[in-house]
Amino acid sequence: MSDDLRARLRGKGYRLTPQRELVLRAVEKLRHATPDEVYAEVHADSSAVNISTVYRTLEVLEELGLVKHAHLTDRAPTYHAVDDHEHFHLVCRNCHGITSVDPTVIAAGTQRLRDEYGFEPDLGHLAVFGECAQCRAEREENTQS
Amino acid sequence: MSDDLRARLRGKGYRLTPQRELVLRAVEKLRHATPDEVYAEVHADSSAVNISTVYRTLEVLEELGLVKHAHLTDRAPTYHAVDDHEHFHLVCRNCHGITSVDPTVIAAGTQRLRDEYGFEPDLGHLAVFGECAQCRAEREENTQS
DNA sequence: TTCCATGCAAACACTTTGCACCGTG
DNA sequence: CACGGTGCAAAGTGTTTGCATGGAA
């Protein structure tokens, strides 16, 4: 487990450190987490990791392809582990709820982007903003103009 | 022209000011601009507008539906005028080039999001990250392993 | 023993806020 | 002339960097 991580790191001249392992485990555990949340999670395990190390580590892990980030809010980016099956996100502007969606749902469109624009989309990074079913329903109830 | 803006503002109890008009014109002229870029553009016309007023004004204009923002970089948001025909963006991770795409290209997928998830996507805010045709070609050239 | 990695603190980039004054309606 | 808007400066977030020390290989 940790040997795989070590091998990946070594492949690019990096070293395996306790901090790097802790950060990766935190991202895997939290599923979707901002750097701050990763920092908090790692701190919970007492053996503190500095916030700047969290940032530096997330950068390294992303370079290795072990984590990815997407912008699910107007503020901080959200990181998730890559070994989860690839997915993109629906983000509700109103309730801020997040729904993970399988890429096949928009496969027709992504294929056209490839065919017609030569563009290879990175779906793991994709966040589609809008309004979720529940918030639409609630809003329509209150809109009896 | 400016009367339409005045009317829209008044409808929500806001006032028409020179600053608000300048900011809106700047967004229309620049097409895709960060708050900083809007600030610079408005400053070019000498009659300075404070940076905090730029932020406050963009917020108001967005509330009125006259402008929209999308996250085309990891840093500042990008604003564009809404009277442009609606479009979403392809952003190349490598060269940072931006391509505007008509929503019909991904219509099949957005329809499925509506049908299967009840989710109403806001395409004006959508940014699809990935790699553009040119950068793919260049990379493949250099990858003769 | 060599470098890469870390902690710390300071610097940065971007955005928001409090308050006195200004100007639209 | 009332009340919303602006400028200014200061404070807030989120992120990055320089440098001395620490520790993996």
Q: What is the structure's pLDDT at A96?
A: 84
What's the CA gap between B8 and B85, in Å, rounded?
20
Domain definitions of chain A by residue range = 2-144
Q: What is the structure's pLDDT at B145?
A: 45
Instruction: Give B 55-84 residues with CB within 8 A of chain A.
Output: 71, 74, 77
Q: Given pLDDT bands bounded at 50, 70 and 90, which one contains residue A84?
A: low
Q: Given pLDDT bands bounded at 50, 70 and 90, which one contains residue A51?
A: very high
Query: Tens digits of per-residue pLDDT, B94-114?
Result: 888 889 999 999 999 999 999
Distance from CA of B59 to the nearest CA of A (A): 13
Bases of chain D with protein Cβ within 7 A: 4-10, 13-18, 23-25
State whether the Cα torsion A46-A52-A58-A61 is positive or negative. negative
CA of A109 to C1' of D12 (A): 41
Contact B77, B83 (CB under 8 A): no
Chain-wide mean pLDDT for chain B? Answer: 91
Q: A65 contacts in B (CB within 8 Å)? A: none
CATH of B2-144, one of 2.60.40.2140, 1.10.10.10, 1.10.3720.10, 3.30.465.10: 1.10.10.10
Q: What is the structure's pLDDT at B141?
A: 81
pLDDT at B85 over 90: no
Q: B113 contacts in A (CB within 8 Å)? A: 90, 101, 105-106, 128, 130
Q: Given pLDDT bands bounded at 50, 70 and 90, which one contains residue A35?
A: very high
Give the residue from chain B lying closest to A128, CA to CA. Answer: B126
The pTM score is 0.88
Q: What is the structure's pLDDT at A124?
A: 85
For B128, the token pair is: 């699809």
What's the CA gap between B119 and B139, in Å, rounded?
37
For A36, the token pair is: 């701050």
Give B69-76 contacts, CB < 8 A, sequence gap 24+. Answer: B69/B125, B70/B124, B70/B125, B70/B126, B70/B127, B71/A71, B71/A74, B71/B125, B71/B127, B72/B32, B72/B98, B72/B127, B74/A71, B74/A77, B75/B34, B76/B34, B76/B35, B76/B36
Only one residue has tokens 């529940």, namely A134
DSSP-derived 3-state class of residue A141: helix
Q: What is the structure's pLDDT at A145?
A: 45
Q: What are the residues facing A81 on neighbouring strands?
A: A67
pLDDT at B120 over 50: yes
